[in-house]
Amino acid sequence: MKIDLPQNGSAHRPGSTTLASSPRRSWGSIIRAAFLVRRERWTLTWTGKLLVLLVVAALTAAIGRGACSFLAITNPIGGQFLVVEGWMPSYAYREAAAQFRKGGYQKAIAAGTLDWDASGELRRHSGGDGLVRFGIPGELVVTTSSDEVLYDRTFHAAMAVKRWLQDQGLRTTSIDIVTIGPHARRSRLLYEKALGAEVKVGVIAIEDRRFDANHWWRSSVGVRTVMGEAIAYMYVRLFFWASQ
């Protein structure tokens, strides 16, 4: 009986595999095996996503409605001095004068600052004349002048008030500020930074008549004012230091 043998030693050995039959792994599969792993995870259904969206929208609306009242804080402490910011509109000084008489303060400090007027000219505003015009005796009104800077004006105005107190040899443990609407919380914070921890700072926010504080988002000036003050307050809270 004749048996034909494979030529050139190509007989198949048990347990051996040929090169053609071995699996060939691509670079993509190698990378996936090295850096990625497949796991089962939970995810929201469309109903769940809609519910989350509604909750976020409700929270945003609630925060938005309370934003103006949060910024336009009124919390007077009392004391000898009432600081009145110098850049406010005329009607604000009528109310500031009323607050002066109501609070029994000894001096009104008109904190001067630089600002642009209606014609686009740079002018120094103090508010002292407005306080006298609305009934505060001139001898009870002091005007301070801040450095000629166009940035951080409230802080520099607060530093001018501090220098005046020091120059007069006056020591006080509390002081109140009168300002406009949503600027109030930032003003109080900047005066706290300028005057130091030994002086407690109160604040009185006069209504900003340019927009409805309860529906500030309905007007462009309300949105600009409230959103701008919110951003500025967060900047002062997180990044502003009194050494600046």
Q: Decide if 186 contacts 158 (C-beta within 8 A).
A: no
In this predicted model, what pLDDT tens digit does every residue of 22-65 receive, in sequence order?
Answer: 455 677 777 777 777 777 777 888 888 888 888 777 766 666 67
Q: Residue 142 maps to which CATH number?
A: 3.40.50.620
Residue 104 lies in a domain: yes
In this predicted model, what pLDDT tens digit does every residue of 189-200 receive, in sequence order?
Answer: 999 999 999 999
pLDDT of residue 47: 85
Residue 49 lies in a domain: no
Residue 140 lies in a domain: yes
Read off the pTM.
Answer: 0.74
Residue 38 lies in a domain: no
Domain count, the chain: 1
In this predicted model, what pLDDT tens digit does every residue of 208-219 receive, in sequence order?
Answer: 999 999 999 999
Q: Angle at CA 205, nearest 5°, toward 204 and 206?
A: 115
Whether 243 has a pLDDT exceeding 70, the answer reads no
- Rounded-to-integer distance, Cα 179 and Cα 200, Å: 17
Q: Quick count: other Cβ atoms within 10 Å of Cβ 178? A: 30
> For residue 240, which amino acid is it?
F
State the residue range of the domain holding 166: 70-239
